[in-house]
């Protein structure tokens, strides 16, 4: 093998998209012998990968659409890119993002022969992780595959996130404050990125919306199974009104916890790792929970579980409900969800 080269992985994805990059980061680290650099957008990549053994540096753009002449952060980024000597993997499938990335790489003088673009690589794989691993096995034209081989052992097909001991301590302190220490916790994630558009949701345009009364009934079913279970309703700050609505409808409102701004990503990782289970719609936090080994029940709308299925790194249960030919999470019956949760409850810690 040649001298180690640090690969650069570029992806401007949302939370769940970035979790799914974990197996690709691992593959590139092992192929090229050096930890990866990660260029991304949004505030979620740093907490996800700040302790990763596969990542040495994270470059985050705050303003994805800012024009280059008016963007000092892009000037700084181009200076960093000019110093980058390793391969570049552009794991992006949105054409407008790919065009912007190409322009940045051109400004930095990185030759196309050192780059591989996801949209240039054909793949028959349906699941995103399998597609990304095939992508990571491609070698830029400027390099030799013989110098940077990959092995079957490098192809880990389940994302895995590292939870730091400090995060566990922080989470335990939060549990103490919420009077949840020593209880069996079930996490519920009712909201998704469309939840803020409450008008659209009420008109039935949110294919990932499950009725609030069903979430409230699910809380009742969980507590009726065993009173030692405690429910935490998780979501963003913008989803708080939905979560409070669900709690108020529940017969166990006084013992149900709503967590929004007090549940940042690294605390969520630690909480999901020790939780009994999690039930939620197909959205980013369910990817996080799956990647730390939390047993899951995932509700799908029009999206296919075959493409977005959560894969557990430790073999914990993942049950998918809904998806094509059904077109909305609302098509999933309450009894289906309760039955699926009780099924994983029998084996979850």
pLDDT in tens, 98-140: 998 999 999 999 999 999 999 888 888 899 999 999 999 999 9
Rounded percentage of the chain residues whose pLDDT exceeds 90: 81
CATH of 165-345, one of 3.20.20.100, 3.90.1170.50, 3.90.1150.10, 3.40.50.2000: 3.40.50.2000
Structure tokens that stand for 34 in this block: 């050096």
Q: What is the pLDDT of residue 200?
A: 45
Q: What is the pLDDT of residue 11?
A: 95
Residues linked to residue 58 through DSSP beta bridges, in sequence order = 38
CATH topology of domain 8-154: Rossmann fold (3.40.50)
Residue for token pair 């994630």: 189
CA-wise closest residue to 237 among 220, 209, 258, 210: 258
Q: Give the Cα separation of 8 and 1 in Å (integer).
A: 19
Q: Is 134 exposed, middle or buried (0-12, 13-18, 19+ CB in 10 A)?
A: middle
CA-wise closest residue to 89 among 127, 160, 37: 37
Give me the residue spans of the domains in the chain.
8-154, 165-345
CA-to-CA dists, residue 244 to 23, 322, 330, angstroms: 36, 25, 20
Provide the phi-psi class of 225: left if phi over 0, else alpha when psi is between -120 and 50, else beta. alpha
| pTM, to two decimals | 0.93
Would you call 281 helix, strand, or coil by DSSP?
strand
Q: Do domains 8-154 and 165-345 have the same CATH topology?
A: yes
Query: Which pairing describes strands 88-90 and 296-300: parallel, antiparallel, or unpaired?
Result: unpaired
Rounded percentage of the chain residues whose pLDDT exceeds 70: 95
Q: What is the pLDDT of residue 201?
A: 47
Q: Give the Cα separation of 55 and 36 in Å (integer).
A: 5
Q: Is the pLDDT of residue 203 over 80?
A: no
Mean pLDDT, all residues of the chain: 92
Q: Give the Cα separation of 276 and 185 in Å (integer).
A: 5
Q: Is the pLDDT of residue 239 over 70?
A: yes
| Distance in angstroms between the alpha carbons of the first and the last residue of the chain | 44
């Amino acid at each position: 093998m040649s001298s180690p080269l640090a690969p650069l992985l570029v992806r401007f994805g949302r939370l769940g998209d970035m979790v799914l990059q974990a197996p690709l980061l691992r593959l590139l680290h092992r192929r090229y012998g050096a930890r990866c650099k990660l260029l991304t957008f949004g505030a979620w990549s740093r907490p996800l990968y700040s302790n990763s053994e596969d990542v040495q540096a994270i470059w985050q753009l705050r303003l994805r659409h800012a024009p280059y002449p008016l963007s000092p952060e892009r000037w700084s980024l181009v200076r960093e890119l000019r110093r980058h000597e390793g391969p570049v993997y552009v794991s992006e499938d949105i054409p407008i993002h790919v065009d912007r990335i190409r322009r940045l790489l051109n400004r930095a003088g990185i030759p196309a022969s050192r780059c591989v673009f996801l949209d240039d690589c054909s793949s028959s794989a349906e699941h995103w992780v399998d597609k990304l691993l095939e992508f990571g096995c491609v070698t830029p034209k400027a390099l030799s595959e013989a110098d940077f081989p990959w092995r079957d052992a490098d192809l880990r097909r389940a994302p895995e996130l590292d939870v730091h001991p400090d995060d566990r301590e922080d989470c335990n302190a939060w549990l103490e404050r919420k009077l949840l220490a020593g209880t069996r916790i079930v996490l519920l994630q009712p909201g998704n990125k469309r939840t803020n558009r409450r008008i659209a949701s009420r008109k039935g345009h949110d294919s990932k919306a499950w009725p609030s009364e069903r979430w409230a009934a699910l809380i009742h079913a969980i507590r009726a199974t065993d009173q030692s279970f405690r429910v935490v309703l998780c979501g963003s700050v913008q989803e708080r009104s939905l979560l409070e609505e669900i709690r108020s409808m529940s017969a166990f409102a006084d013992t149900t916890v709503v967590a929004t701004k007090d549940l940042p990503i690294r605390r969520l990782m630690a909480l999901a790792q020790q939780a009994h289970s999690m039930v939620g719609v197909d959205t980013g936090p369910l990817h996080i929970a799956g990647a730390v080994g939390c047993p899951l029940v995932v509700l799908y709308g029009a999206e296919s579980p075959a493409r977005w299925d959560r894969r557990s790194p430790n073999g914990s249960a993942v049950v998918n409900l809904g998806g094509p030919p059904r077109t909305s999470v609302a098509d999933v019956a309450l009894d289906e969800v309760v039955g699926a949760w009780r099924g994983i409850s029998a084996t979850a810690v």
